[in-house]
């Protein structure tokens, strides 16, 4: 879902850069001097894992593919502000080195996949996990739904940016982006559940890193 340059207008791209830069600056402030002993390697391996997993596009219906984003997974494991930093690192490297996502559109891409997706999925996860009283099943259900929603909200934010830019009308952008990403989001939900289940089975303590911080 990386927006290339040309899809969004210059004012929209500029607004994206301002909002993304502000979010990243606040994320640095919020996490500064708070990274625990286990969080340091976790930030490294999670950024590496999310980058590698994003390369593996999986086919969805109708000759379309989707790929894992990882915003929900990062938010679940490390909390929202660390997740904003991880996702921003991944998106910046993808943009600067692999030319995936435009240079001007980088702000919008960070906003969609690194800020909006992180916070929406984090609160959905916390909400469902809380309602299900912190049970094992509750954690997995919460992970799956927050993964699915993370992709959907990123896509809707992207649709809004396309519409604001005048690239494509609202009534076209929103349903088109929403419907295809409702399918892609299922893959995100399944991968998020699988990774959380794997951590629960092997090192459940790693899911409590943010509480310890």
Partner 1 sequence: MKFKWWHGVLILALLLAILSPLASLSPDGLERVAEDKGFLSSALEPLYEVMPDYVVPGVTNEAAATILAGIVGTLILFGIGYGLAKLLRAKGEA
49 in contact with partner 1 (CB under 8 A):
yes
Closer to partner 1 by CB, 140 or 163: give it. Answer: 163
Residues contacting residue 69 through CB under 8 Å, at least 6 positions apart: 1, 50, 54, 87, 113, 117, 150, 151, 154, 188
Is residue 171 near partner 1 by the rule CB under 8 A? no
Contact between 71 and 84 (Cβ < 8 Å): no
34 near partner 1, judged by CB under 8 A: yes
Minimum CB distance to partner 1, residue 138 (Å): 24
Nearer to partner 1, 5 or 136 (CB): 5
Q: From 91-99, 118-126, 132-140, 142-150, give the range in contact with partner 1 by CB under 8 A.
A: 91-99
Sign of dihedral through CA atoms 95, 38, 56, 128? negative
Q: Which residue's entry shows tokens 């915003």?
A: 71
Residues in binding contact with partner 1, number by CB under 8 A: 72
CA-to-CA separations, 195 to 28, 83, 106, 209, 213, in angstroms, rounded = 26, 16, 27, 16, 22
Which residues in the 53-82 window bind partner 1 by CB under 8 A? Answer: 53, 55-60, 62-67, 82
Contact indicator for 91, 101 with CB cutoff of 8 Å: yes
Question: Does 36 help bind partner 1 (rule: CB under 8 A)?
Answer: yes
Q: Pattern 134-163, binding to partner 1, x per CB under 8 A? A: ---------------------x--x---x-
47 binds partner 1 (CB under 8 A): yes
Tell me the closest approach of the beta carbon of residue 199 to partner 1, in angstroms: 10
10 binds partner 1 (CB under 8 A): no
Q: What is the SS3 string spanning 145-159? A: HHHHHHHHHHHHHHH
Which of 112, 80, 82, 193 lies closest to 147, judged by CA? 193
Q: Which is nearer to partner 1, 63 or 133 (CB)?
A: 63
Residues numbered 186-205 forming contacts with partner 1, rule: CB under 8 A:
202-203
Which residue intervals of 103-164 are DSSP H helices? 106-109, 117-131, 136-164
Single out the residue of 22, 25, 26, 99 in contact with partner 1 (rule: CB under 8 A): 99
- Give the Å distances, CA to CA, from 153 to 66, 69, 137, 149, 198: 15, 12, 24, 6, 26
- Which one, 140 or 188, has the nearer CB to partner 1? 188
């Amino acid at each position: 879902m990386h927006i290339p340059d040309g899809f969004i207008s210059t004012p929209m791209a500029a607004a994206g850069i301002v909002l993304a830069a502000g979010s990243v600056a606040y994320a640095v402030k919020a996490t500064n001097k708070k990274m625990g002993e286990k969080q340091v390697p976790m930030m490294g391996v999670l950024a590496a894992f999310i980058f590698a997993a994003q390369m593996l596009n999986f086919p969805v219906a109708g000759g379309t593919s989707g790929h894992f984003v990882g915003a929900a997974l990062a938010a679940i494991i490390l909390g929202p502000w660390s997740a904003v930093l991880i996702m921003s690192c991944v998106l910046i490297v993808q943009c600067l080195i692999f030319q995936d996502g435009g240079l001007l559109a980088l702000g919008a891409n960070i906003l969609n996949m690194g800020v909006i997706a992180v916070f929406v999925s984090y609160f959905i996860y916390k909400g469902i996990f809380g309602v299900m009283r912190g049970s094992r099943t509750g954690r997995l259900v919460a992970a799956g739904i927050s993964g699915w929603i993370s992709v959907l909200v990123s896509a809707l934010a992207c649709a809004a940016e396309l519409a604001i830019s005048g690239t494509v009308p609202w009534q076209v952008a929103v349903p088109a982006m929403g419907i295809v990403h409702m399918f892609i989001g299922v893959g995100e939900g399944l991968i998020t559940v699988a990774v959380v289940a794997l951590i629960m089975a092997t090192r459940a303590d790693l899911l409590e890193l943010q509480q310890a911080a």
